[in-house]
Structure 1
Amino acid sequence: MLLASTRAACSSAGFARRAASTIALKYSNAVFSAALAKSPQVLNKVQTELNTISTSIKEVPELNTFVSNPTLSAADRTSGLSAIYSRAEGAGAKKEPVTDITKNLFAVLSENGRLGETQGVIEGFNELVAEYKGELTVTITSAAPLPKDAQTRLEATLKQSQAAQKAKSLKVENKVNPAVLGGIVVDFGDKTIDLSVASRVNKLNSLLQQSV
């Protein structure tokens, strides 16, 4: 049933999200191409750096404020970028210099007033790396954590899809968002399958408004 719904129910919300991230994807493609042109090893290192930065921005309020404020002075931007690079270097014995590719990315984002696109750029980069490596990440969003047996059944069903069969590996993630109310939203590749209660409520509201 899920596969049948999957084929029939591609949500317009997925297309809207991708359209909104067009600017970020331009940077994602640029940094991916630059890293891969160096070597697969550099690509992996840049990915590690960017994911570390992404986590730091989520966990450190000052960094979150930094990337979200387009009105900072040049001096403040320089100081903020140094803090970002310091996070990407890691800590202790594992501390390594940040690649020029990562530094160049953030320098350009800063100069163009696009630091607010940071998370979108990193997400797009990770998607490109996953595609390059033949990995497929499926994100299942639900109002509450899925029971293990339900997630296992979903994984088994998803593995039968054409997209999963073409991939070298399949990774399934469960994200919780109370706003979906019930049901699930499945994101994989460039598709979004909205089987949530919230989507049904929105459709009902739209129909009611049209009939008034």
Structure 2
Amino acid sequence: MAAARFVPQALQATRGYATQAGAVKPPLMLHGLAGKYATSAFVAAASRDAKTLSQVETDLKQLKSIIAPPQQTPESVKARDFLANPVMTHAEKADGIKKMLGGKEGEITRNLFAVLADNGRLGDTEKIIDGFLELMSAHRGEIEVTVTSAAPLDKSTASRLESAIKGSQYASKGKSVKITQKVNPSIQGGLIVDFGDRSVDLSVSSRVSRLNSLLQQGI
């Protein structure tokens, strides 16, 4: 019963934020439904104050650390299965989200997930979080660089790589650089570095693919 009352209240609150946030514009345009949810959360938080914006960012980073840690865990698989489950009742969804958020989340974060649960969009949670964090990076004027490796980088290698990226011509535009590390065993070795609309593929899997292509052309 409490969960049934919570969702309409959340929807009403979200509509209220949209009205008062008319003067707030996101720093970039995100596409797709997940992008719209992320943008709505950003605008709602930014229309209040910087502290609220920071609170939502902290909430969503905490949630992402549970559902999408650098390396998959049994807990992260369970959390993702929960979010993707289409047959749960509102009460089950509300209870599960409450446990995942830990009860310390801000009002806008609670409202966001109440609306997602009500609209059957909890499966888009990771995309929405990524969209919100992308907006925050743009809001701070950061250049986001994603480094993908086959295994977690040791501290020494990660430090040298970070220094090289920050000292590169691409980073010398008066903006700070935010580096995100990802692990993808399928690349077999080497690195893939993504920044802006560019990508540098130095992975072993890419080299093997190019070699196979050359061998096939020679046959």
1:120 maps to which residue?
Answer: 127
% identity of equivalent residues: 45
Pair 1:82 & 2:98 matched: yes
Tell me the distance in 2 between the aligned counterparts of 1:118 and 1:28: 9
Pair 1:155 & 2:158 matched: no
Amino acid at match of 2:164: T
Contact 1:57 1:63 in 2 (8 A): yes
CA-CA distance at 1:210 after TM superposition? 8.1
CA-CA distance at 1:32 after TM superposition? 1.1
1:49 maps to which residue?
Answer: 59
Distance 1:123 1:77, change over 3 A: same
Amino acid at match of 1:54: K
Contact 1:50 1:88 in 2 (8 A): no
Distance 1:111 1:160, change over 3 A: same
CA-CA distance at 1:211 after TM superposition? 8.5
Where relative contact order (Cα < 8 A, 6+ residues apart) is larger, the structure is 1
Pair 1:170 & 2:177 matched: yes
CA-CA distance at 1:125 after TM superposition? 0.8
CA-CA distance at 1:155 after TM superposition? 2.8
Contact 1:181 1:196 in 2 (8 A): yes
* Aligned residue pairs, count: 183
Contact 2:90 2:117 in 1 (8 A): no
Unpaired runs of 5+ residues, structure 1, are 1-20, 90-97
Distance 1:27 1:208, change over 3 A: farther
1:7 maps to which residue?
Answer: none
Unpaired runs of 5+ residues, structure 2, are 1-30, 69-74
Please report the TM-score for the alignment, with normalisation by the length of structure 2. 0.69
Q: What's the RMSD between the two structures over aligned residues?
A: 2.9
Which secondary structure does the structure 2 equivalent of 1:165 belong to? coil
Please report the TM-score for the alignment, with normalisation by the length of structure 1. 0.71
Distance 1:109 1:197, change over 3 A: same
